[in-house]
Structure 1
Amino acid sequence: MRALLIDQGEVCAIELPGTDGPEMLEAMYRAIGCNGIAVVGYPDPGHVAWGDEVGVHARPTQVHAVRWYAEPLVGRIVVTGFDAEGSTQAATMDVAALRSMVRHIG
């Protein structure tokens, strides 16, 4: 499944296994570099951003100001799509569109 990764202000497309389940969740943990994830906002009506639920594993150089969240976000961020029922789907957002919403500040 296609997802987008924000890492030090850069955005790239990554592949995650499946659309739901423990295998995908473990892949998201690895991509973010954490042991638990939380929703950190919605870049647009069809996408959700995921980040480290506590931020303790994030490096201090991983601070981002994003358009969809009032406070700076710490750590890597994974963006996936979701459907009307809330199930995880492949991200359809263009890399450049997401990049325009992110500013690396630390």
Structure 2
Amino acid sequence: MDNKENFERKEEIKEKLEKIVENLTKKAFEEVLLEQYYEVAEKCINEKPYNIENHLTMIGFAFETNKIISLIKDEKIKEKYDEKGQMIWDKWQEKIKSTVNGFDLMQAINKTMEKETKN
């Protein structure tokens, strides 16, 4: 190999390494970002009441995580984060249902009490 071929080979290897590092960094960044989003969403579910502000936060969570997941090339990783996001969204929906059912129960009790006080 002459110097020119040697130089070209080194440049080719350098470019491949840069691409590998870039992909690893990007992949790690997406996964770290998703984990942080999931942590915030779990905190919202476990520590905050259901209200419109928190509901909008969770809608934003779903939108953003779906956008990030769609960028992931590795199908196993994509599936892992998609399933985790769905699990969190399902928990949020359960919180909504229990809150709404709680309101319905309170309304039923209030109606019954109103009827009893009228009689």
TM-score, with structure 1 as normaliser: 0.29
Larger relative helix fraction? 2
Bigger relative contact order, structure 1 or 2, given CA contacts below 8 A and separation 6+? 1
Larger relative strand fraction? 1
Greater C-alpha Rg: 2
TM-score, with structure 2 as normaliser: 0.27
